[in-house]
Structure 1
């Protein structure tokens, strides 16, 4: 199962990007505001995917509503998906405890999914009719998240999806293959045309929701768009948050490029980030399957990205009640131990001349070079999907691999 899922991981990411109208995924002009310059030094971020489907322990956020996907994922009808809201009891969600543990593990910033493509807002938005405004007594999870980030010294990131399948539900085709069109029960249907004012209303919805997020929660350090057209521009966002960092998935580019699920095949120019899942199936939402990444693998990914000057945005899918899976806490605990003696090699550093001038990943800071020895890894770590299959096989047969990294610090000798 591990091998099968990895074979399709990159295909899934590309298919999802195409379905959302994204072009992969390059920066535009970088924000030169002083408050935005923290990003390349941060190194390690936490991506929090939690929402409607988390209570099921299977199926991914939003995407499990689509029939006939070319990647492996549980499929349920949209009516079943939205019906799970009745069973969602987030009594254990505690961002304070979650982010305290994340900070001890070495995370420097966190990005919360505030609204995925399913349209459910995790704050009581005045725009739209699906979210905590009508559930959970109007509970504001965005407020809880941003408060906890600042308390524990984490930069505040908010993910927002302009695509809204709930808003489009009467006109959207829920058959990924396209034909025949499927309705919310996955029955063939003839889709009615969009009303003339539909797009105008959708643009107004996106603008109001993004404006709420950028205006009501203090300083926001990062905005993570996921798809969409030109509903709201980066310039409009920066009028509300001048020092914000914006990813490159909104039309018109952003401050940095990114890769999804797999590590990049080559070094990016400029700032970049790799967002990765932590379960073998590569789902973003919580899943009950076995095999959450251990600290060895998480730290290996981090070291390799930092050697190219990139950030790792590692995913967490809290359980439906909001609790953090035990496997994630175990991973974070071990990462925290490593960070105590080697964190200086990956936080606040720059990339080094690897693999051009070294056969181990190198990071640098003024007067120092950090060499990271990764014993018994495959000859070439999986930067490409083809190599990732090879690494997955090695990991499955020899689960002790990779070994924890060892960091050697080379200090530049003073000139005589």
Structure 2
């Protein structure tokens, strides 16, 4: 009984709060996808962008529409925050004033490329159902005449972003929400919404549910057909998936506390979106397409995505930590951004454990990024100019980290040690002792950004590296310094 409870606890936590490394993984078999996954794992650093008309309010995208009671989705904006139905109407009316005239995706793609990012994932549609692309299957979209931006030459925002990033040699990813809280066949107006799930029983209304399945497939296939080469289909809303009767009953009868001590108030409803069929159709349009059906165990989750956290260890499958650069996924007024040291250390920590970093930056309602976002990317840019060879095309080497030193290795057998500077530490120590790795006899060691050969001494366990004062006073980068070992035992 205790074992069953533990399994259910893991499952429910994964289901409600994101993907954790306890989850299982089903390896892909399509050779084209496997090839792309290998390439993707070498890219290491990507950009995620959440953007929608709700950015005008500076609220978390979509979630204030969900009739669940959590602190992070309170209704605080608009004229009717205490009347759900008036609030929803006012929220959806934000499209009428959404006019991001400063929209310049070429500026974003250039800044992201300079920072060392290699792929980009954009929210083509979040849970609120607003399509940031010119879909012919809905009027709730950026190009509809009721949207203030619809007359702009760049009104098809998704197409403009995809083209701008492809022109800078980025891989392009389409974020797409499987639940659509604006669509009448997901949240039927006849039934009041109860939680994040479909608000009727799909088994009792199969024709209505089939219409929603068709709508979802049609919108995704639009993105796969009309928007050029797409490398990643990044699906959110993991609760929209097929579940067995047993699984559904388990989720419905259990009430377990979440990480903050509150009770999870949503349940699991079997919502078969026919993902296997959809993936086959999508890959006919985009051969080798990487599909990330987040939080849904099965063959359509080609890599896993721990959310706003870094796993404690390496994971035995492809993975990516999606992490916010500021205080929310969507634009927040006066939001604080991570500093360069934190961002660089996060990237190093993730890469040393074999993962990728997908860093979220939220555009403003005017169509630009906050100055702090550009400042952060400038910090990445300066550091990556010196140290990127220790990031790209590398893999983990045990023990991955020793104290404040992370490790990677490349395909030539070189090993890189990242010395992570402590808060306020502007100089690397004159002596560094590493116990877990031993260079081969006669191996050369240099700091990236310097041609000076460093002296080292073999120890009973590991080695000691000597850093001359001249180099300590003229370090090639900030926040973290990388030592390249020619070869190790």
Q: TM-score range by the shorter chain?
A: 0.7 to 0.9
- More displaced 10-residue stretch of structure 1: 355-364 or 94-103: 355-364
Residues 195-226 of structure 1 show CA distances to partners (whole Å, capped at 9, x for unaligned) of: 55220110010110011111112221111011
Q: Corresponding residue for 1:374?
A: 420
Alpha-carbon shift at residue 173 of structure 1 (Å): 5.2
TM value normalised by structure 2: 0.68
Does structure 1 conserve the Cα–Cα contact (< 8 Å) formed by 2:137 and 2:219?
A: yes
Question: Does the 8 Å contact 1:50/1:317 carry over to 2?
Answer: yes
State the match for 1:318 in structure 2: 363
- Structure 1 residues 143-192: Cα deviation after superposition (integer angstroms, max 9, x where no partner): 111111111111111111111010134266555599xx9xxxxxxxxx78
Residue in 2 that maps onto 1:224: 234
- Report 1 or 2 for greater relative contact order, CA contacts < 8 Å, sequence distance ≥ 6: 1
Structure-2 change in CA distance of 1:21 and 1:52 (3 Å): farther
Instruction: Quote the Cα distance in structure 1 between the aligned partners of 2:308 and 2:125.
Output: 20
Residue correspondences, number: 363
167-176 vs 198-207, greater mean Cα deviation: 167-176
Conserved 8 A contact 1:308-1:354: no
Q: Deviations over 1:56-112 (max 9, x none)?
A: 12x101112234533434425322321222221111111111111110011000000
User: Structure 1 residues 137 and 109, CA, compared in 2 at 3 Å: closer, same or farther?
Assistant: same
1:117 to partner: Cα distance: 0.6
Structural mapping, 1:63-212, within 5 Å: 63-75=63-75, 76=81, 77-134=87-144, 135=147, 136-137=149-150, 139-167=155-183, 168-169=186-187, 170=189, 174=193, 176=195, 196-212=206-222
Q: Please, which runs of 5 or more residues in structure 1 have no aligned partner? A: 1-10, 182-190, 378-402
Q: Compare CA radii of gyration and give the structure with the larger one.
A: 2
- Could you tell me which of 234, 240, 264 is aligned with 2:285? 240
CA spacing shift, 1:297–1:172, aligned 2, 3 Å: farther
Give the SS at the match of 1:137: coil
Distance across 1 between alignment mates of 2:419 and 2:19 = 40
**Match 1:268 to one of 315, 332, 352:** 315
Q: RMSD of the TM alignment (CA)? A: 3.0
Q: Is the 8 A contact 1:355 1:361 kept in 2?
A: yes
Larger mean Cα displacement after TM superposition, 259-268 or 24-33: 24-33
CA contact (8 A) 1:278 1:314 kept: yes
**What's 2:351 paired with?**
306
Q: Quick check: 1:307–1:354 contact (8 Å CA) kept in 2?
A: no
Please say if residues 292 and 328 of structure 1, whose CA atoms lie closer than 8 Å, have aligned partners that are also in contact.
yes
Between the aligned partners of 2:17 and 2:385, the Cα distance in structure 1 is 42
Of the structure 1 ranges 124-133 and 66-75, higher mean CA displacement relative to structure 2 is found in 66-75
Q: 1:20-76, CA deviations, whole angstroms, 9 ceiling, x for partnerless residues?
A: 99998654322431344311101000001001211112x101112234533434425
CA separation of 1:354 and 1:292: change in aligned 2, threshold 3 A: same
**2-structure distance, mates of 1:410, 1:20:** 37
Q: Which residue of 2 aligns with 1:186?
A: none
SS at match of 2:363: coil
- Give the direction of change, closer, same or farther, for the CA distance of 1:172–1:154 in structure 2 (3 Å limit): farther
Match of 1:279 among 296, 317, 326: 326
Structure 2 residue runs without a partner (length 5+): 1-8, 76-80, 82-86, 242-272, 424-477
What do the CA deviations read for 1:220-264 (whole angstroms, capped 9, x no partner)?
111101123234333332222121112242563321112001112
Q: Which residue of structure 2 lines up, in the alignment, with residue 42 of structure 1? A: 43
Distance of 1:376 and 1:358 partners within structure 2: 11
